[in-house]
Amino acid sequence: MQQKTRIAPSILSADFAKLGEEIVAITKAGADSIHIDVMDGHFVPNITIGCGVIKSIKKYSDLPFDVHLMIAPVDPYIAEFAEAGADIITIHAEAGVHLHRSLQKIKSLGKKCGVSIVPSTPASALEFVMDIVDLILIMTVNPGFGGQSFIDSQLTKIKIVRDMIDKTGRNIDLQVDGGINSETAKLAVAAGADVLVAGAAIFKGKIEDYSNNILSLK
C-alpha cells in the first residue's frame, strides 16, 4: 500500500564547501532522510563522493542515510559503505549479474537494501527480488548528473512497480529520483511513488527557504 509522501534531499545539489551546515539545515527543514549519490565515473559518467565523506557527515544528522551506489562492480564496496554510516544501501540492477546475492550481503550487514533501475531497464528486472528488497528506486533521468529533466515515460513504470509492490503485501518504499520539482512530484506520487529524491528543487535560494522547498514537494 502506498505510504505517506516522504522527501529525501540529494546532497549532490548541496554546497560542498559547507556540507555539514547544509545537512543540518535540511534536517531542521523537515527532510525524512539524507540521499547520498555515489558515482564512480565508470557505471555513470561522473565522480562524486566516497566512504570518507559519508563518515565525516554522519555526525550532522540523525536521519537515515540513504546511500545510492551508482558504481560497478558494487559487491567489493558494500561492507565499506555500511561501516561508513549508510542505513539504506541501494544498488543498481544493471551493475552486476548476481543481484540477489548482493542484496543478501547488504541485509547480512544489518542494513536496509534497495534496488534502482535506469530508464531503459524494464520493471520485470525486479521480479525475482521483490521478497528481499526494502526500497525500489525508479530513475526518472539517466543517472550521472543533477539538474536533468524528468522523463515522462517512467510514469508508466512507476505505476507497474506500485502494483508489483502491492501484490507482495510488503512495505517496500517506492522512491523516484530525477527531475523532481513541485509539478513532477505530483505526477510521481499520483503514479504510486511515496519517497521523492530531489536536489536542485530543495537546495535553492537561502537556507531559510529549504523548509518551504520541502513542503512544496509534499
The H or E element containing residue 176 is: strand 173-177
Q: Name the residues annotated as catalytic.
A: 37, 177
Cell digits of residue 117: 533501475
How far apart, in whole angstroms, are the C-alpha atoms of residue 181 and residue 201? 6
Cell digits of residue 168: 507482495
- Residue 17 CB contacts under 8 Å (≥ 6 apart), including other chains: none
Q: How far, in whole angstroms, is CA 26 from its chain's centroid?
A: 16
The H or E element containing residue 195 is: strand 195-198
Classify the phi-psi angles of 205: left when phi > 0, otherwise alpha if psi is within -120 to 50, otherwise beta. Answer: left
Bridge partners, 115 (sequence order): 91, 136
